[in-house]
Structures are given as C-alpha cells and as structure tokens.
Amino acid sequence: MSKIKPSKGAPYARIMGVGGYRPTRVVPNEVILETIDSSDEWIRSRSGIATRHWASPEETVAAMSIEASGKAIADAGITPEQIDGVIVSTVSHFKQTPAVATEIADKIGAGRPAAFDISAGCAGFGYGLTLAKGMVIEGSARYVLVIGVERLSDLTDLEDRATAFLFGDGAGAVVVGPAKEPMIGPTVWGSEGDKSDTIKQTVPWDAYRDGTVEKFPAITQEGQAVFRWAVFEMAKVAQQALDAAGISSAELDVFIPHQANMRIIDSMVKTLKLPESVTVARDVETTGNTSAASIPLAMERLLATGQAKSGDTALVIGFGAGLVYAATVVTLP
C-alpha cells in the first residue's frame, strides 16, 4: 500500500479573470500591399482581415505578457503574490532559455511560482488551460496564470503572398483557480504529426546561424491543406468537446475559435449548426492571427464590449502548427 497522502486540490477549476494587450501600432492591409502583389479586396475575401497589430521594439513578448497578466489578475480579484503557477504558450520568444515565464513571474511580483513555457502553436492556450486546470485540481497550485503571447511579425515573410497578411502580435492571459462546480470541461486534444509540414518554420535556426541560408526564418503554410483540415476535422473536435461537456449547441452562449481566418470560422459555425443566438468571436478582422494569443484576446474583447457576459457557456478551440488541437467548454469569468 502506498504511503503517499492524497493531494488536496480543489474539486473543480474555473477561469476567474481575463486580460489582453494589443500593440499600439495598427497595420492596415495597405502596408502589407507594399511588399506583395495583391489587393485589399483579395486579402479580406481570403481571410477577413482588415488590420492587425505589430509590436514595437519595446513591446516584447515579456512586456506584452506583463500588461495582459496585470489585467487578468485584477479581473480575478486576487493579488500577484497569490499566483503560484505561470504557464506561457508562445512560439516567438527567441531565447531558448530561460523560459520567459520566469521573467514574467518576477516582473508581476508573483514571488516564487512554478513557471514554464510551452510550444503548441495556435492550440497553445488550450494546452495551457488544461495544464492549469490539472494543477488546481491536483493541489500543486491554487491560482495559475495562463498566457498566450506572440510577436509573429518577427516570423513573417513580408514577401510571401500566402502568409504576409495573416499574422499579428499580442498577448492574452487568464487566471485559473478553484471552483465548487464544473466550469472547465474535459479537453479534447491531440496531434496529427503526419501533417506537420503544412505549417512550419521555413528553416531551422542553425541554418541561419551557419550561413546556409541568408533569409531569416519565417512561418510558412500550405493554405488550402490547412483550410480543409481546419474546416472538416476541427468541427468534429469541437463537437466532441461539446459532447464531453454534456452541452448541446442549443445550450451554448458563445463560440471562441482560434482566430485564424474568417472563412474557417464561418464554415465551422455552419458545420456545427450553431443557432443564431450563439455569439461568435470574429476578432481576426482587426487583430489578425495571433496564434496562442488569439483565444484569450478574443475572449477579453467579447466581455469588454458586452457581446458576452460573465457566466456564459463558451466553446473554445485552438488548432495549428503540428498539427495540434485542443477544445473545451468553459464558463466565462
């Protein structure tokens, strides 16, 4: 018989607060058209994107995260000292080590929390949320800060007609804490590594370092393959998350998919047969694709504008490079 005592975590977990940060510089499609042969109409019809935010040198991954975290902590009604876990999902922090989570934890005054980075692309927020939920229920942390943050402008090839217009920068954060009833449903997540070449970095860092290539690495993708996968396969995953939570589409209040592309979002709404009463996040129009930051940024905007309200039931799903995905049903803070 084991001598280890059972952990004393919370019975359930919930999102307690949310915060977001968008860089001050707004970049319209006209700026993108300076380096690619296209048109504003083409970009809008292909992606639904009209503008995106690009970070200044001062708006680093850490700086944006600190701003978003401060808002989320205040929204949760706790103090930074009470945070005992910090999870950062990003693919655009260029220091291999140390984890940017440790810097963020120190700068917000969190004390000595567990702090680590994860890399799960556009599904990163869902992965981080699931880990935080487990920490709270297991008892290794009471309040966990989950951050999705990207500076994808650093990894954008402005001469690539297929991707130059897609990406934006920003940070979104939530605080996960204890709950007395289920407020974060089971996560449906996974990967399809056989499709990993459909979204990837053009070359590894050492190829650039060694002079094998002169062009700085960037993100590239096979647009049509990604579109088909997202529309047909991710709608299935979203339905599985609803089923796992015991929620029907008629009972859903809000749908917050990864803000990759307006056409993908609209197609998923149609495939899932969501009622018109469901509020759908379409933050991509003015924010672009911010990868791991897109879901918390969209969530924050819906709540701030009154399009969604505290206590609403929301389906969130992220999907992207890997190919990886994660979907769950949550109660909004």
Please tell me whether the peptide bond between 303 and the residue prior to it is cis, using omega within 30 degrees of 0. no
Phi/psi at 213 (nearest 5 deg)? -130, 150
Rounded CA gap, 216 and 315, in Å? Answer: 37
Strand partners, 20: 172
Q: What are phi and psi of 6, to 5 degrees?
A: -65, 150
Q: Which of 244, 119, 126 is nearest to 174 (CA)?
A: 126
Which stretches within the chain are classed as H helix?
29-32, 40-47, 61-76, 100-107, 124-138, 205-209, 223-228, 234-245, 262-272, 284-287, 294-304
Structure tokens at 318: 């992220």
- Cβ neighbour number for residue 197 with a 10 Å cutoff: 12
Q: What letter would DSSP give residue 326?
A: E
Helix (H) or strand (E) holding 26: strand 25-28
Q: Please list the active-site residues.
A: 122, 258, 289
Q: What does the buried/exposed string (b/e) look like for 218-251 if buried means 16 or more CB atoms within 10 Å of the residue's CB?
A: bbbbebeebbebbbeebbebbbebbeebebebee
Phi, psi of 151 (to 5 degrees): -120, 70
Backbone φ, ψ for residue 260 (5° rounding): -90, -40
φ, ψ (nearest 5 deg) of residue 190: 175, -170
